[in-house]
Chain A
Amino acid sequence: MSGGFTFHRPTAVPAFGPAFGIAMLGTGLLVLLPLAALLLRAAGQSFDSFVDAAFSPRAMAAYRLSFGASLLAAGVNAVVGTVLAWVLVRYRFPFRRIVDALIDLPFALPTAVAGVALTTIAAPDGILGRIAEPFGIKLAFTPFGVFLALLFIGLPFVVRTLQPVLQDLEPELEEAAALLGAGRASTFLRVVLPAIAPAAATGFALAFARSVGEYGSVIFIAGNMPMVSEIAPLLIVVQLEQFQYGAATAIATVLLGASLAVLLVCVVLQRRLERDRVA
């Protein structure tokens, strides 16, 4: 093959064949096949019934809530998580390891447990609920409750994405900034943040993706009022329970498309940040 397309350039790393085969098989069976089945199922109905189910007022309200609350929660988590990761990496304080371990709790906790726990504190007679009540804010059984649950489950994604990056960030950079007269806040904004922005974007994307699909921890606290506090994944379940398979797959298809679009934007954004950082 002179100058033509070569599928696999020879390298010193052995076992390209088997490794590539397993990787492709895994991707195909575990990722592409279910998605293809979903799209096929969704396509099995008439266009009108697809549009009716996918863009009914109830479905639109559910999308708005799911994507809106997820974006908001991921955004807040990107900020809070970044600061938290910085504190955990840069400072030494009592119980640091315990705090560090607690970060993983939302990962490890069964989502239903998280949901019950969050509902308990957010309910009108719970700790948080009682604090919010005088301000006229109802936490549980409202869109705000959904946001709260998503905040909880998204945090570790940001922290765990940023920690290794911050660990690799030479402390000399922060020392140099201090020697040049920059304060703590200014050092963080002008030196640390630009260096970790790509990782923060990744953390945001992961938290967002997880939030859109989150079900277990949300349904307890949300109250699930159609048009008000009903998330899109729940609407899919509702449709399935009523044997409306077409409608369920239609909603699922929209959810899939929108999630892919958001992830794509995140990847592009992250690439751009990465490029600005070095070149």
Chain B
Amino acid sequence: MAIRIEGAVKRYGPKVAAIDGVTLETRPGELLALLGPSGSGKTTLLRAIAGLEFLDAGRILIDGDDATALTARERRIGFVFQNYALFRHLSVFENVAFGLRARPRRLRLTEAEIRDRVLPLLRTVQMEEYAERKPAALSGGQRQRVALARALAIEPRLLLLDEPFGALDAKVRRELRRWLRELHDRLGLSTVFVTHDQEEALELADRVAILNQGRLEQLGTPHEVYDSPATPFVAEFLGDALRVPPRLRRALVPDRPHGGLAMVRPHDIELLPPGGPGVPAIVRRTASRGGALLVELELEDGNRIEAEIARGDAHEAEGRIAPGTRVGLRARIAHLFDDAP
């Protein structure tokens, strides 16, 4: 099951375009992340795929068939809302059975058939023992699993998740992330999810589509987008990146001394002994950032930049990063872009 979006445009008012000419294609069975800051159009794009928003221009093809004019009801797409949108007056069982009961009369199932469909789904999402509870009596993570089972009950061609982990606390989030990835691998259902958390997208998805101001910046595997960002925006959005000022360019990035814009990630900055090659700087402060050590460095012109070194290296470099020591800086890897926007 593959979906293709061609030149999608959605405007709110004459000047505001939520999506502004997006073309992308999913691969059958893949888990695709739509990643971007708020206002980048990622949720609008997801809603357009579902048929909840209608495009001003462009087409949506599902398995090669034009689905642009189909209503949400006709598309048979599973959708999990950010706030889950569970039906409060219905039990967990009835929430999941909703889509089965909503079928047209000639396709309607018997009560026994409905049970045979709903109970295995509740087992899949580990909610079997809560079948008779109302949503109000469930935790956030449980509600989300019910919403997922409800979406899966209609045997969707495609599963869409809007900020699936947005409303959960950090621990539940991580657990659910792993669980969702396993579930996806087991079901093999093409899935698109929206997130603003780059870590989540890189960890979970097969491919990541990065959106900015309604445009697609890059589409690729987590390694591709992180290691070879297509645009300065992607480089900066997927973790920190320093825009190398022209006057430091030759010393910091000696192998590509000029042309375009060079960007360097903090963990790609190498600390060398003073007096040798590299940009001279003084260590001002160090701070622990989990497995890495953050080193705040003052350049000769008084500007400060940050480097990040792994904890193991930190021990070796101990003498070299004490506050007040002089060092030379050089970029191990730099990302180069043609035009500085």
Could you tell me if A179 and B73 are in contact, using CB atoms closer than 8 angstroms?
yes
The one of A170, A173, A182, A278 in contact with B102, judged by C-beta atoms closer than 8 angstroms, is A182
Could you tell me if B83 and A181 are in contact, using CB atoms closer than 8 angstroms?
no
The one of A177, A179, A180, A278 in contact with B88, judged by C-beta atoms closer than 8 angstroms, is A278
| B72: chain A residues within 8 A (beta carbon) | 175, 178-179
A183, closest chain B residue (CB):
B73
Given contacts A180-B102, A180-B154, contact A175 B134 (CB under 8 A): no
Q: Is there a chain A Cβ closer than 8 Å to B71's Cβ? A: yes
Could you tell me if B50 and A179 are in contact, using CB atoms closer than 8 angstroms?
yes
B80 CB, min distance to chain A CBs, angstroms: 9
Interface size grouping (class) on chain A: 20 to 34
B61-78 interface with A by 8 A CB criterion: 71-73, 75-78
Could you tell me if A172 and B81 are in contact, using CB atoms closer than 8 angstroms?
yes
Q: How far is A33 from B326 in the complex, measured between Cα atoms in Å?
A: 89
Could you tell me if B79 and A181 are in contact, using CB atoms closer than 8 angstroms?
no
Q: Is there a chain A Cβ closer than 8 Å to B87's Cβ? A: yes
B22 CB, min distance to chain A CBs, angstroms: 21
A147-171 interface with B by 8 A CB criterion: 170
| A181: chain B residues within 8 A (beta carbon) | 73, 76, 99, 102-103, 154
B69 CB, min distance to chain A CBs, angstroms: 15
B133, closest chain A residue (CB):
A279
Given contacts A181-B73, A183-B73, contact A175 B85 (CB under 8 A): yes
| B78: chain A residues within 8 A (beta carbon) | 179
| A276: chain B residues within 8 A (beta carbon) | 89
A176, closest chain B residue (CB):
B85
Q: Is there a chain A Cβ closer than 8 Å to B130's Cβ? A: no
Q: How far is A26 from B194 in the complex, measured between Cα atoms in Å?
A: 55
| A279: chain B residues within 8 A (beta carbon) | 134, 136-137
Given contacts A180-B154, A279-B134, A279-B136, contact A194 B99 (CB under 8 A): no
A179-B52, A186-B102, A194-B90 known, 16 other contacts, Cβ within 8 Å? A170-B83, A176-B79, A176-B85, A177-B98, A178-B73, A179-B50, A181-B102, A181-B154, A182-B99, A183-B102, A194-B89, A277-B89, A278-B88, A278-B89, A278-B136, A279-B134
Q: A residues within 8 Å of B by Cβ?
A: 170, 172-173, 175-183, 186, 190-191, 194-195, 276-279
